[in-house]
């Protein structure tokens, strides 16, 4: 059963099979343990050789399938021996199995808005219970291991994007270590980086603020149903993850060609009267004309300032949530 479960991990998860507390070892000595539904720990045979504590999360939004399929491929490579002798402790988190099975972004609430303790305010939410659980596993994983702490939260966007692949860097406080991850972005040809000025309730931001992890939210492309991700360059992402499993953090090489953006403000839906004046096919990072009436929410209006671009427009969010982000280009 040691390799069999890993080879069929995704079908078993989507079928709701219960393998919690199962453990095993691969021929190269790599140990694995199913800690919870969709939560899998991998440890090298020689744990003292682990150079990185690597948390890889996907499926935080259940309909963002490309990262889910990619991490399943990584597991199959480990189980088959195509990738062997990892030099990293790895925690794989398939974030929202219920939403994955339903083919929905979430069931009750957006899971990626409930970290950092915000889940305590959503007592009847399945995602709130899941956020609390994932916080506990992240804490246990980082605090029990040694080495560089790294969290990559893998997503795909609802809309197409002017820059098809991009990364989001959570607020780093007084530790400007994001430059050490530029080589990682270069390795997968990600040329766009959004810098968040304030901590948020996302999973990656939680791991930065609570555990000092280096973290990025990575957008691999546009969201599609399972089995429809052939056009996305997943092989290059998979090659990057294989390098990370070997404890290799890719170095940056000159010249660096990174488009950097910063958040200027968020557009929050505060009532049922909210209207977003954007067509459904407007892509992420589209520049908007200064003075444009972007949104109306009762008497409140959002007017675009010079140089602002739109990111993650979604008028269908619940009241109180973010319906879009306005960002501006900044110098390197």
Give residue-wise pLDDT tens across range 308-326. 999 999 999 999 889 999 9
Hunting for tokens 């280096």 — which residue is that? Answer: 214
Question: CATH number of 263-330: 2.40.50.140, 3.40.50.720, 2.40.50.630, 2.60.40.10?
Answer: 2.40.50.630
**Given pLDDT bands bounded at 50, 70 and 90, which one contains residue 2?**
low
Burial of 69 (0-12, 13-18, 19+ CB in 10 A): middle
More confident position, 159 or 134: 134
What average pLDDT score do residues 76-95 get?
Answer: 93
Q: What is the pLDDT of residues 62-85, one digit of tens each?
A: 999 999 999 999 999 999 999 888
What is the structure's pLDDT at 178?
A: 65
More confident position, 123 or 54: 54
What average pLDDT score do residues 107-129 get?
Answer: 95
Report the candidate in 196, 137, 237 with the shortest Cα–Cα distance to residue 330. 196
Query: Does 219 participate in catalysis according to the annotation?
Result: yes
**Given pLDDT bands bounded at 50, 70 and 90, which one contains residue 180?**
confident
Query: To 5 degrees, how large is the angle CA 109–CA 265–CA 121?
Result: 30
Q: What is the pLDDT of residues 98-109, one digit of tens each?
A: 999 999 999 999
What is the structure's pLDDT at 43?
A: 94
Considering the chain, tell me which residue range(s) the CATH 3.40.630.10 domain(s) occupy.
2-245
Residue 176 has pLDDT above 60, yes or no: no
Residue 169 has pLDDT above 80, yes or no: yes
- pTM for this model (two decimals): 0.94
Catalytic entry in 43, 219, 266, 296:
219
In 8-82, which residue ranges form alpha helices assigned H by DSSP? 9-14, 65-80
Does the domain spanning 2-245 belong to CATH 3.40.630.10?
yes
Q: Report d(CA 318, CA 172) in Å as an integer.
A: 28
What is the structure's pLDDT at 33?
A: 96
Q: What does the block give as tokens for 230?
A: 């052939």
Q: What is the pLDDT of residues 184-221, one digit of tens each?
A: 998 898 989 998 888 889 999 999 999 999 999 999 99
Considering the chain, tell me which residue range(s) the CATH 2.40.50.630 domain(s) occupy.
263-330
What is the structure's pLDDT at 50?
A: 76
Within 10 A of 259 (CB to CB), how many other CB atoms are there?
16
């Amino acid at each position: 059963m040691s390799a069999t479960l890993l080879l069929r991990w995704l079908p078993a998860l989507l079928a709701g099979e219960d393998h919690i507390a199962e453990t095993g070892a691969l021929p190269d000595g790599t140990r694995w343990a199913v800690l919870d539904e969709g939560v899998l720990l991998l440890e090298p045979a020689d744990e003292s050789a682990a150079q990185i504590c690597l948390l890889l999360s996907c499926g935080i939004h259940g309909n963002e399938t490309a990262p889910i399929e990619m991490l399943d491929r990584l597991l199959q490579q480990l189980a088959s021996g195509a990738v062997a002798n990892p030099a990293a402790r790895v925690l794989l988190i398939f974030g929202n199995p219920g939403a994955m099975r339903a083919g929905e972004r979430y069931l009750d609430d957006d899971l990626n808005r409930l970290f950092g303790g915000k889940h305590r305010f959503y007592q009847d939410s399945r995602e709130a219970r899941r956020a609390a659980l994932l916080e506990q596993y992240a804490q246990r994983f980082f605090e029990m291991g040694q080495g560089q702490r790294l969290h990559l939260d893998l997503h795909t966007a609802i809309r197409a994007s002017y820059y098809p692949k991009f990364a989001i860097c959570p607020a780093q406080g007084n530790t400007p270590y994001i430059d050490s991850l530029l080589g990682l972005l270069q390795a997968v040809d990600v040329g766009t980086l959004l810098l968040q000025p304030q901590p948020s309730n996302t999973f990656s931001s939680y791991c930065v603020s609570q555990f000092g992890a280096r973290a990025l939210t990575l957008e691999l492309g546009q969201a599609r149903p399972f089995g429809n991700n052939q056009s996305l360059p997943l092989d290059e992402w998979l090659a990057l993850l294989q390098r990370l499993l070997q404890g290799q953090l890719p170095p940056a090489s000159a010249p660096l060609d990174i488009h950097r953006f910063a958040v200027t403000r968020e557009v929050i839906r505060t009532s049922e009267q909210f209207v977003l004046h954007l067509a459904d096919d407007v892509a992420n990072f589209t520049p908007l004309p200064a003075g444009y009436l972007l949104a109306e929410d009762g008497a409140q209006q959002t007017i675009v300032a010079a140089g602002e671009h739109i990111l993650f427009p979604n008028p269908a969010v619940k009241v109180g949530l973010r319906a879009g982000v306005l960002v501006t280009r900044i110098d390197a």
